[in-house]
């Protein structure tokens, strides 16, 4: 079997994120790497200041070599904070208003991708299978091809892909699309993302849809498809069952004093719709006063990308909003919103999901949203809670048993909360069983195997007969 080479911006090394703390994606990719042997390469998360980064730091664990590189301050600023998180992230989340275009950042993004390619290429053997992850690294395959690599290279995008009208507002949209055509397989989270991708090729007249997922663009034939990422469903369900006995979870249970708990868990990110969600919760309480002092809403929100101005701003807005609602509606013996602005271990999180009567997941736009899937997997089959889910999360394409909401419609979300809390046990069980069955049969291992199978067995890919587009 060929070796597998995984490249992603962040690398969950066993030293940092091992054991129970590791998320499903890390576990699945580590299992795939372990089975084939291989390398997981990416950024160390560290800066080398203004000096060129030293040699790759290598860590061997069983069959897997973790290869990490530092980046210079300028690289981190331009590639990660600048282009990846202030251009691609907002554009892919339909936020034209937040995109900040700067030539320096765009150049930095392509430069760091070239740098990654130069560090990776010497480690690659001719029959290695290469799997690149996420928006930070779109141009990587083009750089590797430039260096003569002919390996199968796949790309999976964890975030949404926007419609052509949005994408073309990005000055380097053509370069980005050309970058994608250098892969052999391009994977998206949902069929909608795939449609947007195909729509752009059609609209801009730079590619042909050959059918069966094959596309001919920029002189290359490649495959594109929807590969919705899953979680480790069975493992997470077991984990949640035992986590119910965790001391922190028990303490939380006692502290809510028999009230129903609603839970929201999101990185502090404008795409997650936290402000609108807090408004919806407030509207729910004011429209349904009988629920006042009867529910507690726990919002767990670890800080994220704090050096990016839009995120720093969010931090202030969410804290103010939670404080305002608590001040307006809370009483001396009841705080409606518990706002935790730091990360919680997966162990405690699993128990809290199980404790919560409602999982409130209302991003304005999200690639998948694993929290939605984890909430479902964590439920007690006898007394499952209700998932209230944004129709704009990738997970909404699969979790048909959820109460789907439009997060921009504050009143609609408030009504869904009321409906969820009043829902009969029978309906809760029916909805939950439908979702759990799906999650069990579409877990992260299947996602990983399916993507790799398609990457390895895709029909004749590579250079097409069509003339090469000018670059």
Ligand X SMILES: O=c1ccn([C@@H]2O[C@H](COP(=O)(O)OP(=O)(O)O)[C@@H](O)[C@H]2O)c(=O)[nH]1
Q: Is 387 in the site for ligand X (CB under 6 A)?
A: no
C-beta of 112: minimal distance to ligand L263DTV3 in Å?
Answer: 14
Structural contact between residues 181 and 430, judged by C-beta atoms closer than 8 angstroms = no
For ligand X, the closer CB: 346 or 357: 346
For ligand L263DTV3, the closer CB: 207 or 367: 367
- Count CA atoms within 13 Å of residue 352 on its CB side: 25
d(CA 235, CA 258): 28
C-beta of 225: minimal distance to ligand X in Å?
Answer: 20
> Among 40, 35, 41, which residue's Cα sits nearest to residue 2?
35
Task: For helices 370-377 and 233-243, give the axis angle rounded to 10 degrees.
Answer: 60
What is the DSSP-derived secondary structure letter of residue 170? S
* 388 sits in which H/E element: strand 386-390
Q: Computed over its alpha carbons, how large is the radius of gyration of the chain?
A: 23
Bridge-partner residues for 361, per DSSP? 389
For ligand L263DTV3, the closer CB: 25 or 314: 25
**Residues contacting residue 464 through CB under 8 Å, at least 6 positions apart:** 216, 219, 220, 221
C-beta of 368: minimal distance to ligand X in Å?
Answer: 6
For ligand L263DTV3, the closer CB: 128 or 366: 366
Tokens of 185: 């397989």
- Count CA atoms within 13 Å of residue 78 on its CB side: 17
Q: Is 265 in the site for ligand X (CB under 6 A)?
A: yes
Position among 45, 225, 302, 412 found at the interface with ligand X (CB under 6 A): 302
State the binding partner of 223 from ligand X, ligand L263DTV3, none, CB within 5 to 8 A by kind.
Answer: none
For ligand X, the closer CB: 14 or 302: 302
Position among 344, 446, 456, 466 found at the interface with ligand X (CB under 6 A): 344
Tokens of 306: 């704090």
Residue nearest to ligand X (CB): 370
d(CA 50, CA 71): 9
Sign of the CA dihedral 385, 386, 390, 391?
positive
State the binding partner of 305 from ligand L263DTV3, ligand X, none, CB within 5 to 8 A by kind.
Answer: ligand L263DTV3
C-beta of 251: minimal distance to ligand X in Å?
Answer: 17
Task: For helices 24-36 and 444-457, give the axis angle rounded to 10 degrees.
Answer: 50
Position among 2, 246, 343, 450 found at the interface with ligand X (CB under 6 A): 343
> Among 353, 268, 280, which residue's Cα sits nearest to residue 317?
268
x/- binding map, residues 171-200, to ligand X, per CB under 6 A?
------------------------------
**Length of the chain in terms of residues written:** 471
Task: For helices 346-355 and 370-377, give the axis angle rounded to 10 degrees.
Answer: 60
State the binding partner of 229 from ligand X, ligand L263DTV3, none, CB within 5 to 8 A by kind.
Answer: ligand L263DTV3
Position among 157, 243, 349, 396 found at the interface with ligand X (CB under 6 A): 349
Tokens of 250: 């028990």
Q: Which of 158, 182, 218, 438 is catalytic?
A: 158
Chain residues that interact with ligand L263DTV3, rule: CB under 6 A: 9-10, 25, 134, 158-159, 229, 304-305, 366-370
For ligand X, the closer CB: 256 or 344: 344
d(CA 52, CA 127): 31
Tokens of 149: 């690599």
Q: Is 346 in the site for ligand X (CB under 6 A)?
A: yes
Q: Which of 134, 266, 366, 443 is catalytic?
A: 366
C-beta of 97: minimal distance to ligand L263DTV3 in Å?
Answer: 19
Stretch of 60-68, 279-287, 365-373, 422-430 lying at the interface with ligand X (CB under 6 A): 365-373
C-beta of 374: minimal distance to ligand X in Å?
Answer: 5
**Is 158 an active-site residue?**
yes
C-beta of 458: minimal distance to ligand X in Å?
Answer: 27
Q: Is 369 in the site for ligand X (CB under 6 A)?
A: yes
C-beta of 44: minimal distance to ligand L263DTV3 in Å?
Answer: 13
Position among 105, 374, 398, 443 found at the interface with ligand X (CB under 6 A): 374
Can you say how many angstroms the Cα of residue 118 is from the centroid of all Cα atoms in its chain?
27
Q: Is 23 in the site for ligand X (CB under 6 A)?
A: yes
Q: What angle do CA 240, 241, 244 make, to 5 degrees?
A: 80
SS3 237: helix
Give the residue numbers annotated as catalytic, written as ranges.
Answer: 158, 366
Residues that bind ligand X (CB under 6 A): 23, 265, 267, 300, 302, 343-344, 346, 349, 368-371, 374
């Amino acid at each position: 079997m060929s070796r597998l080479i995984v490249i992603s911006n962040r690398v969950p090394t066993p030293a940092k994120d091992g054991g129970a703390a590791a998320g499903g994606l890390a576990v699945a990719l580590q299992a795939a790497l372990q089975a084939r042997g291989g390398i997981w390469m990416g950024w160390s998360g560290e800066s080398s200041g203004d000096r060129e980064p030293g040699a790759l730091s290598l860590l061997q664990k069983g069959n897997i070599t973790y290869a990490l590189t530092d980046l210079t301050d300028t690289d981190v600023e331009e590639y990660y904070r600048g282009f990846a998180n202030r251009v691609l992230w907002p554009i892919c989340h339909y936020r034209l208003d937040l995109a900040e275009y700067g030539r320096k950042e765009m150049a930095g993004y392509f430069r760091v991708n070239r740098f990654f390619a130069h560090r990776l290429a010497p480690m690659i053997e001719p029959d290695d299978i290469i799997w690149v992850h996420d928006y930070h690294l779109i141009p990587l395959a083009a750089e590797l091809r430039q260096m003569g690599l002919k390996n199968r290279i796949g790309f999976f995008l964890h975030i949404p892909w926007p419609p052509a009208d949005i994408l073309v507002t990005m000055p380097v949209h053509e370069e980005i699309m050309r970058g994608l055509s250098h892969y052999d397989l391009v994977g998206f989270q949902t069929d909608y993302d795939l449609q947007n991708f195909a729509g752009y090729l059609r609209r801009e007249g730079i590619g042909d849809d050959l059918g069966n997922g094959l596309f001919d663009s920029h002189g290359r034939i490649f495959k594109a498809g929807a590969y919705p990422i899953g979680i480790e469903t069975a493992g997470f369900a077991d984990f949640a069952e035992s986590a119910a006995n965790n001391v922190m979870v028990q303490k939380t249970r006692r502290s809510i004093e028999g009230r129903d708990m609603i839970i929201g868990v999101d990185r502090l990110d404008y795409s997650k719709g936290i402000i609108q969600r807090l408004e919806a919760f407030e509207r729910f309480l004011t429209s349904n006063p009988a629920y006042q002092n009867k529910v507690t809403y726990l919002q767990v929100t670890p800080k994220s990308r704090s050096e990016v101005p839009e995120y720093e701003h969010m931090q202030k807005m969410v804290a103010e909003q939670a404080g305002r609602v608590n001040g307006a509606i809370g009483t001396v013996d009841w705080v409606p919103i518990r706002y935790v602005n730091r990360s919680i271990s997966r162990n405690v999180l699993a128990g809290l999901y199980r404790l919560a009567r409602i999982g409130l997941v209302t991003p304005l736009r999200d690639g998948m949203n694993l929290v939605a899937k984890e909430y479902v997997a964590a439920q007690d089959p006898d007394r499952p809670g209700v998932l209230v889910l944004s129709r704009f999360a990738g997970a909404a394409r699969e979790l048909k048993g959820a109460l789907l909401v439009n997060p921009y419609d504050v009143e609609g979300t408030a009504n869904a909360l009321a409906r969820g809390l009043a829902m009969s046990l029978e309906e809760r069980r029916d909805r939950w069983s439908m979702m759990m069955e799906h999650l069990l049969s579409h877990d992260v291992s299947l996602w990983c195997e399916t993507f790799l199978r398609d990457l390895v067995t895709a029909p004749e890919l590579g250079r097409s007969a069509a003339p090469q587009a000018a670059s």
